[in-house]
Amino acid sequence: MKILVTGGAGFIGSNFIRLILGKYPDDEIINLDKLTYAGNLDNLRDVESDERYRFVKGDICDEKIVNEVMPQVDAVVNFAAESHVDRSIGGPADFIQTDVFGTYVLLEAARRHEVGRYLQISTDEVYGSIREGSFTETDRLEPSSPYSASKAGGDMQVMAYHTTYGLPTLITRSSNNFGPYQYPEKIFPLFITNALEGKKLPLYGDGTNVRDWIYVTDNCEGIDLVLHKGQIGEIYNIGGGNERDNRTITGMILEELRKDENMIERVADRLGHDFRYSIDCTKAQQLGWAPSHNFEDALKETVEWYVNNRWWWEKIKSGEFEQYYREHYGK
């Protein structure tokens, strides 16, 4: 299979590319990525010389470049997105542009060039918050932030293109991912690297907000399974079954690093902060998927990765990252 992976230089996308190249000797990947602040080719340094892999710098909103690469592939897996809730609260426009309009550009090109499968990577945040129980794929979407609303808008377009045009689409909605190569603005990499630098860990409110956590390679395995065996037109939730509140996660990180809890700094809660996310993953399990990583072991591996790969995150946090990319890959 020849796969167009959009946003492949990001956290989940880069882990997915590494999985596919390692698992399928005959597969080829084109990685289309704009290289915004969270797109980092260092994430794929170990595969960049693989003859089955090709990087193309470009924006999914650019119809010209999308239509140049689309005829070369059998399938599309769209990871490209603006994805940080805090940034969406401060500036929603980029999220609408990429997550909604960019999705439209990909869908239209996939339809025009009769691509065999289009897989949209979404999030459990489109369902909104739930106090008890878990969301299924048919539940109403009630996004709370500009980010989750933009992702929901992209999902709705994907569903419409299947219904109206018969485009062979699929959607996965995962819970919160963690693991190597995650940009240090999310709780795991931010808190780990702050602790290593001796900086405070900014914990929202009382830290009781609950998230379901999934190790990134478990999510990528689920995405791979849906791509190959998912029923066209369907949506699949992919969750780790590891619900923890943010205060507990913070304590586990500090314990693993042997740091004191006086490093925690309480900060004003996020606007519209969802209390709890939880998804029912029965459909994905019926395909044969199940997470293979124990949460505590995966957390330890994640902490260890950031401890051992300061070269990767120190230049990002020091501000060298943007200068590095201007010099090597243009503006």
Burial classification of residue 268, based on how many CB atoms lie within 10 Å of its CB (0-12 exposed, 13-18 middle, 19 or more buried): exposed
Written as one letter, the residue type at 53 is Y
Catalytic residues: 124-125, 147
The string of DSSP letters for 119-185 reads EEEEEGGGG---SSS-B-TTSPP---SHHHHHHHHHHHHHHHHHHHH---EEEEEE-EEESTT--TT
Written as one letter, the residue type at 307 is V
Other beta carbons within 10 Å of 247: 17
Give the tokens for residue 153: 């808008």
Least Cα distance to 137 among 225, 233, 244 occurs for 233
Give the whole-angstrom CA distance, residue 218 versus residue 291: 5
Q: Taking a C-beta distance cutoff of 8 angstroms, is the pair 202, 267 a contact?
A: yes
Instruction: Name the CA radius of gyration of the chain, rounded.
Output: 19
Share of the chain residues as helix, strand and coil, in percent rounded to the nearest 5: 45, 20, 35
Give the tokens for residue 62: 């650019």
Give the whole-angstrom CA distance, residue 117 versus residue 5: 12
Phi, psi of 185 (to 5 degrees): -125, -15
Least Cα distance to 249 among 237, 264, 270, 230 occurs for 264
Give the whole-angstrom CA distance, residue 18 versus residue 53: 10
Check residue 179 and give left, alpha or beta (phi > 0: left; psi -120 to 50: alpha): left
